[in-house]
Chain A
Amino acid sequence: AQSVTQPDIHITVSEGASLELRCNYSYGATPYLFWYVQSPGQGLQLLLKYFSGDTLVQGIKGFEAEFKRSQSSFNLRKPSVHWSDAAEYFCAVAPREYGNKLVFGAGTILRVKS
């Protein structure tokens, strides 16, 4: 069965510092890969997605993610974190044969200290 692991439940970074959120997936073939962000009381907003091609993908709000097939990973990065980035981040996968059924990781709560 597909699964997504986000090993860090909470991460705290200082404003202006760099950020990396980890995501590993387990699936027979390379699925579609996504990162979503959720602010308190809000729905999910897509930050970026990987379907194929260049393994470094750029997203909104200055985020990027790198797909590494050999490690089954899709880590999210940002070079300089802003206080407004404090939120919960979810990695998700969807099988290529049926892309609608998203399987989510448990989420990582990002705290930004000033």
Chain B
Amino acid sequence: KAGVTQTPRYLIKTRGQQVTLSCSPISGHRSVSWYQQTPGQGLQFLFEYFSETQRNKGNFPGRFSGRQFSNSRSEMNVSTLELGDSALYLCASRPTGGNYNEQFFGPGTRLTVL
């Protein structure tokens, strides 16, 4: 099976712009979570989608949003970019069922805001 794929891998934007990142989960996985990784704040949970519905959300401003499509692919959007949004954005997918299932991470999208 192919792993979690994220596109693009690298992105450069300027302050005030908006950006959309894409994540394709492992085939059959219906849950997709997003994390932000920065040197200062570390790895932080953004949100999780399951069956096109947001199930949980981290402590991020409303500029960060996401969605999931019927094929489980997910996008996250950041509007009005700030310098502090520069980060590695990681997507993770997991199968469903049982008490807990391992999350499989993609390689990430490196966003640089100038």
| Chain A residues within CB distance 8 Å of chain B | 32, 36, 41-46, 49, 51, 90, 92, 94, 96, 98-107
Do A102 and B45 touch across chains, with their CB atoms under 8 A apart? Answer: yes
A residues near B31, Cβ cutoff 8 Å: 100
How many A-B residue contacts, CB cutoff 8 Å?
Answer: 55
- Which of B64-72, B74-82, B103-111 lies at the interface? B103-111
Residue B114, interface by CB 8 Å: no
Residue B22, interface by CB 8 Å: no
* With known contacts A100-B55, A101-B45, A103-B45, A43–B106 Cβ distance under 8 A: yes
Task: Report how far A104 CA is from B55 CA in the complex, Å.
Answer: 19
Q: Tell me which residues from 70 to 114 in chain B have a Cβ below 8 Å from any Cβ of chain A.
A: 90, 92, 94, 99-108
Do B55 and A102 touch across chains, with their CB atoms under 8 A apart? Answer: no
Do A44 and B105 touch across chains, with their CB atoms under 8 A apart? Answer: yes
Do B107 and A101 touch across chains, with their CB atoms under 8 A apart? Answer: no
* With known contacts A98-B56, A100-B48, A101-B45, A45–B105 Cβ distance under 8 A: yes
Cross-chain pairs A/B with CB under 8 angstroms, 10 sampled: A42-B108, A43-B4, A43-B105, A43-B107, A100-B56, A100-B103, A101-B48, A101-B58, A102-B33, A107-B42
B residues near A90, Cβ cutoff 8 Å: 43
A residues near B99, Cβ cutoff 8 Å: 51, 96, 99
Closest to A100 in B: B48
> Given A102-B103, A107-B43, 18 more contacts at CB 8 Å?
A41-B107, A42-B107, A43-B105, A43-B106, A43-B107, A46-B104, A51-B100, A90-B43, A94-B100, A96-B99, A99-B99, A100-B48, A100-B55, A101-B45, A102-B35, A104-B43, A104-B44, A107-B42
